[in-house]
Amino acid sequence: MVSWILSAGVRRVSSVLRRFSSVVSAGSARSGSGCQERLCPPLLSGDVDRFGGVTVRDFPPDISEDEFSELLRVSLSRWRSDGRVAAWLHVPIALSRLSAAAAHLGFSFHHARRDEAVLSLWLGPGEDRLPAFATHQVGVAGAVVDESNGKVLVVQDRNKTTNAWKFPGGLSDLGENIGETAVREVFEETGVRSQFCSLLSVRQQHNHPGAFGMSDMYLICRLSPLSFRIDFCTQECLRCEWLDLTELAKTSETTPITSRVARLLLYGLENGFQNIDLTMEQMPAVYSGRFYQLYHRRLPETP
């Protein structure tokens, strides 16, 4: 049964692929093995990257699992003999059956987003040296400190069993800077407008609940208020207050990390925030013309 399907499948590969001659011929033309093109078996066409991996993005849209399996098997054999170290398949969600076929030949999911899955297979010598996909979600909280009276803006989550005071915050959207997340989340949760001053702390936690088995990087920023009237989000928060930093630093109605950062802020308030801040600077990336944000202790001005 299986062999019949396979055999029928192989035949159909040829006819399907004749219809997708651009897909095939690019692969065949690139192979350069010297065989006459009509005698070469059809191959998937891919782009070779500078690391020696091949990436396939075009697939015949009505190819069956079995047909694709045979096409991929032949292509893998060629890529291996050509010394390719890895194969990447960018499979549109509508063609997901091809991912099942690829899995039979050793591929696994590298990642998937929205309407595309990316599968990979290491073909080189030794162990898999492919770079992994993103491993961390990034959460940011904002400690808005009113220097005029030593108060800080805190909330209690609606969804938690223990109602502990904490700084408003939440997950960064893709592409959002740390400080942007802090300012946005503070406004969404409390109605208070603020601006970014510095980074105060970094927490790393693995296997984080709610991170789908991945890790969490949680950053707390110091913000300064631009408005003071609280209009908090009742969906997310049970309470929201401007609380004395001295009180937050000693209350047991808070989380260990909030308590720690409250003490840090209190020290900064009394001795200067330069003692606790990591300042941010925007710098140009070498290769791309884009910018990145660098945070570290402020250096004294060079003379």
Among 35, 37, 61, 133, binds a copy of itself (CB under 8 A): 133
Selected range binding a copy of itself among 31-39, 67-75, 237-245, 291-299, rule: CB under 8 A: 291-299
DSSP secondary-structure letter at 65?
H
Among 2, 15, 39, 212, binds a copy of itself (CB under 8 A): 212
Chain positions 135 to 174 lying near a copy of itself, rule: CB under 8 A, are: 135-138, 162, 171-174
| 2 contacts a copy of itself (rule: CB under 8 A) | no
Selected range binding a copy of itself among 6-14, 15-23, 24-32, 203-211, rule: CB under 8 A: 203-211
Chain positions 34 to 63 lying near a copy of itself, rule: CB under 8 A, are: none
Give whichever of 32 and 175 is closer to a copy of itself, judged by the CB atom.
175
Please state, in angstroms and as integers, the Cα–Cα distance from residue 173 to each residue in 26, 138, 211, following that order: 39, 9, 14
Beta carbon of residue 70, minimum distance to a copy of itself (angstroms, whole number): 17
Total residues in contact with a copy of itself, by rule CB under 8 A: 84
Selected range binding a copy of itself among 12-20, 66-74, 223-231, 293-301, rule: CB under 8 A: 293-301
Phi and psi at 249, nearest 5°, equal -70, -20
Q: Which amino acid is at 226?
A: L
| 217 contacts a copy of itself (rule: CB under 8 A) | yes
Give the separation between CA 111 and CA 121, rounded to whole angstroms. 12
Q: Is the dihedral of CA 286, 287, 288, 293 positive or negative?
A: negative
Chain positions 244 to 273 lying near a copy of itself, rule: CB under 8 A, are: 255-257, 260-261, 263-264, 267
Chain positions 58 to 117 lying near a copy of itself, rule: CB under 8 A, are: 65, 93-100, 103-104, 108-117
Beta carbon of residue 175, minimum distance to a copy of itself (angstroms, whole number): 5
Give whichever of 40 and 223 is closer to a copy of itself, judged by the CB atom.
223
User: Which residues partner with 218 through β-bridges?
Assistant: 139, 203
Give whichever of 26 and 103 is closer to a copy of itself, judged by the CB atom.
103
Strand arrangement, sheet containing 116-122 = 47-48, 53-56, 86-92, 116-122
Element (H, E) at 70: helix 65-81
Give the separation between CA 152 and CA 167, rounded to whole angstroms. 9
Give the separation between CA 27 and CA 88, rounded to whole angstroms. 15
Phi and psi at 32, nearest 5°, equal 60, 35
